Amino acid sequence: MSQLRVAGIVPESVVDGPGFRYAIFTQGCRHNCPGCQNPQTHDFEGGYVVDTDDLFAEMMEDPLIKGMTFSGGDPFEQPVPLAELAARAHAAGKDIVTYTGYTYEQLLAKAQHEPAVMDLLRETDVLIDGPFILAQRNLELKFRGSDNQRVIDVRQSLASGEVVTFEFE
């Protein structure tokens, strides 16, 4: 059982990654991207606290769910409960998409002094990284907001030591 501070939950989302997804919007973000669509998620004292057991149980009640999405806020501000939750979801055959305002390279650096960051990276199948940049906003991008944001195959990237990206179909 772990506690997670969230801004909200969308139990059946089709806009936060491929397939039907149990989307968790974490509370707390320090990136302050101009043009952010969710400024109410920035305050680290805002939102509400949930038990990750309850989130997992709710997801498992819905047979249509392909996987979990962690968005925000920035999920990498709460890597400990999210890595645990992602591991349980993987064990149940679900995949994990994680959004972050940090770049992949920044997360690797952060993981040097915060091991849970690597735990969450290892439990992430697809990482959509980098801040939202208003000047690079592109409404045609699938599941992301601006051209600088990459869709990263984390497993291949960690294995190869290079950033492996792809496009959602």
The residues that touch ligand SF4, with contacts defined as CB under 6 A, are 29, 31-33, 36, 38, 41, 72-74, 101, 131-132
Q: How far is the CB of 100 from ligand SF4 (least distance, A)?
A: 7
Q: Which is nearer to ligand SF4, 65 or 132 (CB)?
A: 132
Residue nearest to ligand SF4 (CB): 101
Secondary structure E strands in the chain: 3-13, 21-26, 48-51, 67-71, 95-99, 126-129, 150-153
CB of 19 to ligand SF4, least distance (A): 22
Question: Which is nearer to ligand SF4, 58 or 147 (by Cβ)?
Answer: 147
Considering beta carbons, is residue 17 or 73 the nearer one to ligand SF4? 73
Instruction: Say which DSSP state 115 is in.
Output: H
The C-alpha atoms of residue 99 and residue 13 are separated, in whole angstroms, by 14
Task: Give every CB contact of residue 106 below 8 A, 6+ residues apart in sequence.
Answer: none
In angstroms, rounded to a whole number, what is the distance separating the alpha carbons of residues 71 and 162? 24
- The burial class, CB within 10 Å (0-12 / 13-18 / 19+), for 149 is buried
Q: How far is the CB of 43 from ligand SF4 (least distance, A)?
A: 11
**Shortest spacing between CB 108 and ligand SF4, in angstroms:** 18
Closer to ligand SF4 by CB, 51 or 105: give it.
105
